[in-house]
Chains A and B, each alone.
Chain A
Amino acid sequence: MSGKTLAAVAAFCLFTLFIIAGTSHAASPDEAYNKTSSALYAKAKQEGELIVYTVWDVEHIVAILQGFSKKYPGIKTTYWQGRNPEIVTRTITEFRANRASVDAILSDNAPPVLRAAGAIMPYETAQKEALLIHDPTMPVVSLQVQALTYNTKRIKAPELPKSWENVATPKYKGMVALDDPMRAGPLSTQLAALKDFWKDEAKWSAFVKGLKALNVPVHKSTSAMFRLVIAGEYAIAMPALLHDVMNEKEKGTPVEYIKTATPIVFPRYAAVYAKAPHPNAAKLLTEWLISPDGQATLDSVGREASRKGFPSKTSIENAYGTGTQPVAVHDKLFMEDPQKWLDMHVKPIWAK
C-alpha cells in the first residue's frame, strides 16, 4: 500500500470514529467521557487556569484538585473555601459587578440559588447515564446522604425505629435530637424530599406534627448534634450524614445507621459560573469528578459517589444494598428559596 492509501484509510477510520462517537452519544458514559474530556482538555490547556469556589473541606478540595492536576497537567488550580451563604453572597456580588472571578462552584445548596439568580452557565454532563440523580444544567458530582443514626450504647436494636416516620412517635421522646427544621439544614431537606416522595399531605403533616410533639432539643448545628449523639447525650440523630457515620464507624465509635430508613439525598453540584473566565477547565473538572477516576478520588476523602453502582464505602449501594432507590429533593422552590418554602409548609405546623 502506498502512503496515499494509508492516509486515506486513516482518514476514513477517523471519519467513522467521529460518526460512531456522534451517534453513540448514549452508548457508554465512559466513552462519552473520554471524548468530551479530551476535547475539553485541549481548550482548558489553552485557558491554563481553573478557579474553584467550594464549600468542601480544605483537605478534600486539596485532594480533589491534586487528583485533577495529576490527570490533566498544565492547568493551574486555585480555590477559595467558604460556607454556603458566603459562596452565594460572594458569587452574586461578583456577578452583579460583572467580574469574571470564578470558574466552578462545588457546593450543595449554593448552585440552585445561584442558578435562580442567573449566575450559572448551564452545562449538561456527557456522562448523565451514569448518574443516580441528573440535573441538565448542573452536573451532580456527589451526594449528601442522610442516614437515620443511633448510638449503639444508648438504644438497643428491638427499640429502634424502622423508618423516618417511626421517629415521630411518643416513645422516642427524650431520646431524639432534632436538626432545626426551620433552617436550611438536613431535616428541612428531608421534609421537602419526603413531601414530594409520599405525595400524601396528611401523612406528611402528621409526620411534622409528630416531630414537634416529641418536644426535644432542636439543634442548629448538625455536626454538634452528631457529636452529642456519639457522646450519649441523645440516642438518635434526626438525621446524620452518611459519610460522617461511616467515618466514625471506622474508628470504632458506637454509632450505627438504620438500613430500613430510606436514604435521603441532596445533590452536590459542580456548577459552571456564568461569567467563568475558564469555562472549559470548569467543565473538564465536572466531567472528571463524575468519571470513575474522580469518583475514586472523592471516595478517598470519604465522600459519597453520585455514580450508579460505584463501589465506594459511602455509596448508597454499598451502605443500603444494590437497587436501593434514594429519595431525592426535587422541589424547585425549596432549592431556590428555602425560606419561602419553609414559611409556606413547615412554619404553619411548627410555629404553633
Chain B
Amino acid sequence: MILTPVVIVLLQSLTTTRLATYVGFTGENYLRVLTDPEIFSMMKNSLLYAFGSAVLGTGVGAMLAWIVARTNTPGKALVELMPLYPLLMPPIMKNIAWILLLAPRSGILNNFLQQNLGMEEQVFNAFSLSAMIWVFGLACVPLGYLFLLPVFLSFDPSLEESAYIAGSRPMHTMMRITFPLATPAFLSAFILNFLRGLRSFETPVLQGSPAGINVFVAKVYDSMSMEFNSGLATAYSAILIVLSIAVLMFYVRATRFSERYATITGKGYRVKVIDIGGWKYFTFFAVFSYFLLGIAVPFAVLIIVSLIPYYDYETFMNFFAHMDLSNYRKVLHHPSFVSGLYNSLTLSLATAAITVMAGIVMAFTIYRTKVYGSKVFEFIGTMPLAFPPLVLSVGLVLVFIGTPLYNTLWALGAGLFVAYFPYALRNASGAIVSIHKELDEAAWVHGARWRHVFFKVTLPLLKPSVAGALFYIFIEAIRNIDVAVLLAAPGSEYGPVTLFDYFRVGQWGEAAAGGVIYLIILIVAVSMAKFVFNVKFSL
C-alpha cells in the first residue's frame, strides 16, 4: 500500500525523462543530481533551516508539554489548549503574517521602532535564515507538544522521585531524567519536524529567496515545474530519502533498548504535579507567550489586514479609517467555500481515523511482535515523508490510473492515507515504546492472544497519544492540497479551496479574510470538542 507508490516513483526515476518519456533503464537522472554543483550549498541551507526549526520547534514543544503536564501552572484547562491553537493556522498564513511583521522596510515592527523609538536601523529582517527558522520553528511546536504531552502525562513519577531523593532539583531532574526518558517521543517529533523542514517549500520561497537563500527542495520543484520531469525530481528527492533513512537509523539505534524508555509501568502510580512555587507564573507566561507568538499576534495582524483594502504600514495603523468588509463579502460569495469545507471535513475525519489506527497496528507489529523484518517498516512507513508532495502525488496517480478507483474519493483517501501515515506511525511507535513490555506480557500469560493484547491493553493505554495524532492529522489533512491535488476528480471540490486559492493567487486581503473565517470555525470546533467531549490527553 505505501510501498507501491514509493517503488513506482523510484522506478520512474530510473526509466523516464522529461514529460514522462520512457527511455529505458538509465541512471541519467541520478547522474545529473550527483554532478549538480549547486546542491551542496543548497543542501547546507536546507539542513541549517530544517535542523534549526526542528530544534526550536520540538524543544519548545517539549518544554510546553512538560509545563502543562507536570507543573502546577495556573489555568490548567486553558494552558493545555493554548499550545494547540497555533496548529490550526496554516503555515502559509503564518509566513505572510510574519513577513508583514518583520519585513525590513515595510514591516510593522521595524516601522514601529523607527517611528516611536526613533531607531535608525532595521532591527528585524523577515528575509533571513533566522526569520525562516523562527517562523517555521514556531509552526513545529505543536507537533512536539502533541507527541510529548501524553508521555509526560502518564509518566511513572517514581522515575523522577528517585532523582529528587538523590538530591536533584526539579529543573535538573527535568533535564537529566524526565527529558531523556521521553527520548523516543521526542526523537519521533524531531524527525518529523526535520523532514517537514527539509521538504517545506513555502517558507523558503517567500522568505528565503529574497535573501538569496536557496534550499535544496527548490531543485525538486524546478524539476517538476520547469522540466516536468518527475524522474529527475525523484532523483533529487532520493537525497532526502537517504537523509531520512540516516535519521531513522539513528532513531532505531537510540531506542533499541526500548524498555529503558518505558515510562508507563505496571506499578500503579499517580502522576504527580510538581509544585514549582513562584516559577508557576513564569511557566504560565511561557505558555502564554507561545500562544501569542504562535497564533495570537499573527492572527491579529491578519484580522487587520483582512479589514483594510491593502497593506502598508500607514494604512495598517489607521485601519479604523480604512475598514471595510469587501474581502469577507468576496470570500463568502466564493462558489466552493461551503461545499469545499464540508467535503474536506468528512474526508479528513475518515483519513485521520484510519491512518492513526493503521499507524498503531504497524507500530505494534514492529515493537511488540516478533514478525520477521518488521523493523524495516519503520523506514518504509516513514518514507512518504521524504518525497515532496507533488512527487508522491505522481506516484499515487500512477498506482491508481489503471484501476477503476482513479478519479474517485477512494483514491484521494488512499493518497491522504499514504501522506499522513508517517505521522501516525511515528506517533504510535514513540508512544508504544513508552509502555512497559510487562504490561503486554502480563496479558499473554493470563490468556490473552494478540488481538486481546492489542485491543484491551495497548490501545486503551495509547488513548492519549491517539487523541493527539487524530487531532494533528485531521487538522493537517483538512488543508492538504499538495498531495490531494492530482487525485481529486474534476468536479469534486476538496479542501477549503477558497482560502488556499487566494494564497496561491496572492490576494492577501482575501486570503486573510478566508483564513480568519476558517480559523474561527476551527478554534470554536476544537474548543468545543475539548470541553464538550472532554478530550483528555492523559490516561
Q: Contact residues of A with B, CB < 8 Å?
A: 51-53, 57-59, 62, 78-86, 88-90, 92-94, 96-97, 99, 101-102, 113, 116-117, 153, 177, 180, 183-184, 217-224, 226-228, 230-234, 244, 248, 251-254, 337-339, 342
Contact = CB atoms under 8 A, between A and B. Distances in A.
Nearest to B38: A351
Given A83-B504, A184-B226, A228 B106 contact: yes
Interface of B: 18-21, 96, 99-100, 103-107, 127, 205-206, 209-212, 218, 221-222, 224-228, 230, 309-314, 326, 334-336, 390, 393-394, 397-398, 401-402, 406-407, 485-486, 488-491, 497-498, 501, 504-508
A224 B100 CA distance: 11
Contacts of B226: 183-184, 338-339, 342
Contacts of A59: 334-335, 501
A231 B311 contact: yes
A226 B508 CA distance: 10
Contacts of B222: 183, 339
Given A220-B205, A222-B506, A232-B105, 11 more contacts: A58-B501, A62-B335, A93-B397, A97-B401, A117-B20, A217-B209, A219-B210, A223-B505, A231-B311, A248-B310, A251-B326
Given A51-B490, A102-B490, A219-B209, A92 B309 contact: no
A92 B228 contact: yes
B227 A337 contact: yes
A52 B205 CA distance: 29
Contact of B506 (A78, A153, A227, A231): A227
B209 A116 contact: no
B102 to A, nearest CB: 11
A86 B485 contact: yes
5 contacts: A89-B390, A89-B397, A180-B209, A218-B210, A226-B506
B495 to A, nearest CB: 11
A233 B103 contact: yes
Contacts of B407: 101
Contact of A85 (B127, B390, B501): B390
A86 B312 contact: no
A293 B149 CA distance: 60
B113 to A, nearest CB: 16
Given A85-B228, A226-B506, A227-B506, A80 B335 contact: no
Contacts of A79: 490-491
A1 B103 CA distance: 85
A164 B393 CA distance: 39
Contact of B19 (A92, A184, A233): A92
A78 B228 contact: no
B311 A90 contact: no
A58 B506 contact: no
Contact of A228 (B103, B313, B401, B489): B103
Given A224-B206, A231-B103, A339 B310 contact: no
A13 to B, nearest CB: 43
